Structure 1
Amino acid sequence: MILDRFRLDDHVAVVTGAGRGLGAAIAVAFAEAGADVVIAARSEFDLEQVAGQIADAGRRAHIVPVDLSNTDAAAALAQTAVDEFDRLDVVVNNVGGAVPRPLFDTAPKHMVDAFAFNVANAHALIVAGAKQMLATTGGGSVINVTSAVGRLPGRAYAAYGTAKAALAHYTRIAAMDLNPKIRVNGIAPGAIHTSALEIVADNDEMRSAVEKATPIHRLGEPEDIAAAAVYLASPAGAYVTGKILEVDGGIIAPNLDLPIPDL
């Protein structure tokens, strides 16, 4: 049965930024597909809620309240997965971000911090995770969550967009280094209805403008990204590596204009 290829029965995954939004949706989807999940984020309360949903799906969760701006903390999640569940099959690097700023207000430190948070931390967990995958299961899958603004130029995204573009290309490079045993892919979300986009979702005028600029004419839902993650993590995606899956409603230009005036 083709649907059996989307199963993750008895697999173990690490998902960062899993307290809410995309990370939470991915972690719960993995559990529904049969996996146990190590979930990491800053808020223990948020993680407990997600762990409850994983338990409701009949799987186990191990929560790690941690500041993932620290590369050592990110790397340690791979060992945690093996300590708790005796194996590691999937790593999802979902943590990331940077505050939008006009170009003249973007200091070199903002660029450095964005790269560290979005790329260096992912690299730390991938290296540690790949070693554990090879030692415990002989292979696995890595998924990096990038962004549509990593390929589409938009004002105020010098730090964030550049870092996400770097993560996308890192994904392609890491896939070459880890072939053929570990697949490395990315998901580039567009405008997804999470807490980060509430200011848009709750404003009828702004939401209408974003939806009108999106070919599919709606905001994305976290489950749209979670479904893509299940595909890439599971045997269904076994012939896919080094690719960025664009889950963005079909946009070919930014669909959210920030109020940055012309020079």
Structure 2
Amino acid sequence: MVNNENKLKEMRNYVIIGGSSGIGKEIVAILEKQGANIVATYNNNVLQDKQNIRYIKLDVLSDILNPDDLPEEIHGLAYCPGSINLKPFHRFKEEDFIEDFKLQVLGATKIIQQLLPKMKKSHDSSIVLFSTVAVQTGFSFHSQVAISKGAIEGLTRSLAAELSPGIRVNAVAPSLTNTNLASKFLNTQEKVDAQSQKNPLKKIGEPKDIAEAAVFLLTPGSSWITGQIIHVDGGFSTIKQ
């Protein structure tokens, strides 16, 4: 009985928003192997609960998390929802930018505000957000995504300052990764080969590549890292060939 009680005390609680597909799903899988207690949300991809994983339906634009669905103390939060809308700047309408901003920035802000009291209880928690290499490296047709993700990078640094020392805040900035979100850019072997050749490592990133970095930032192994934008992009943002 004592061993079980100690195990419960040691078990860390994580909330993964958008944990049913892509990078979020991989984060859940890695944390599950580490024996964590996980609450993961989904919008469309319904998954069945497991021993240490509870899935909750959540539309980040309209729903509010029920506190009763969450543990009293939260050690880590990852906000994974995003979008990739690429087209010439002159073709975007005001509502396009606003909808993207709502999903990627206001959605993250709302979730963090809701979970903050439970994260403060742990005195040792971590928030991981997601940016893109397009913020620091200019690309044509990336104005919409760069605006929202640029705001995420600003939010990351600001919250890291405001919430320290009890809560660390970092972001991961990938280049194009093989997820459903990016499928229209990688839906033929020719497109995959072309994108691979642009990367110094000559391959496309996989969800697990990004998830491993996110889990590192979520867990105690990164206890002296905060306010950072970690580029996980195969060298794309720093190595010119």
Q: Does the residue aligned with 1:142 lie in a helix, a strand or coil?
A: strand
From 131, 137, 147, the counterpart of 2:132:
147
Alpha-carbon distance in structure 2 between the residues aligned to 1:28 and 1:87: 21
From 193, 197, 217, the counterpart of 2:178:
193
Q: For each residue in 1:204-232, what CA deviation from the matched residue of structure 2 results, as whole angstroms up to 9, or x when unmatched?
A: 22111111110011111111111111211
Alpha-carbon distance in structure 2 between the residues aligned to 1:125 and 1:65: 14
Equivalent residues in 2 for 1:75-224 (5 A)? 76=65, 79-82=67-70, 85-135=71-121, 137-224=122-209
Alpha-carbon distance in structure 2 between the residues aligned to 1:124 and 1:202: 34
Q: Does the residue aligned with 2:224 lie in a helix, a strand or coil?
A: coil
Q: Is the 8 A contact 1:14 1:81 kept in 2?
A: no
Report whether the alignment pairs 1:13 with 2:5. no
Structure 1: runs of 5+ lacking an equivalent: 1-8, 256-263
Instruction: Give the aligned partner of residue 7 of structure 2.
Output: none
Alpha-carbon distance in structure 2 between the residues aligned to 1:12 and 1:166: 27
Alpha-carbon distance in structure 1 between the residues aligned to 2:207 and 2:133: 15
TM-score (norm 1): 0.81
From 61, 84, 88, the counterpart of 2:53:
61
Deviation at 1:80, TM superposition (A): 4.5
Q: Is the 8 A contact 1:194 1:221 kept in 2?
A: yes
Q: Does the residue aligned with 1:143 lie in a helix, a strand or coil?
A: strand
Higher helix share: 1
Q: For each residue in 1:208-260, what CA deviation from the matched residue of structure 2 results, as whole angstroms up to 9, or x when unmatched?
A: 1111110011111111111111211111100000001110111138x9xxxxx
Structure 2: runs of 5+ lacking an equivalent: 1-9
Report whether the alignment pairs 1:235 with 2:227. no
Alpha-carbon distance in structure 1 between the residues aligned to 2:45 and 2:183: 22
Alpha-carbon distance in structure 2 between the residues aligned to 1:151 and 1:252: 8
Q: Is the 8 A contact 1:13 1:81 kept in 2?
A: no
Q: Is the 8 A contact 1:141 1:184 kept in 2?
A: yes
Alpha-carbon distance in structure 2 between the residues aligned to 1:103 and 1:199: 19
Deviation at 1:91, TM superposition (A): 0.6
| Amino acid corresponding to residue 89 of structure 1 in structure 2 | H
| Amino acid corresponding to residue 95 of structure 1 in structure 2 | P
Deviation at 1:199, TM superposition (A): 3.8
Deviation at 1:202, TM superposition (A): 4.1
Report whether the alignment pairs 1:40 with 2:41. yes
Q: For each residue in 1:5-34, what CA deviation from the matched residue of structure 2 results, as whole angstroms up to 9, or x when unmatched?
A: xxxx61111111111101100111111122
Q: Is the 8 A contact 2:174 2:231 kept in 1?
A: yes
Q: Does the residue aligned with 1:148 lie in a helix, a strand or coil?
A: coil
- Going from structure 1 to structure 2, the CA distance change for 1:81 and 1:243 (only over 3 Å counts) comes to farther
Q: Does the residue aligned with 2:210 lie in a helix, a strand or coil?
A: helix
Q: Is the 8 A contact 1:93 1:145 kept in 2?
A: yes
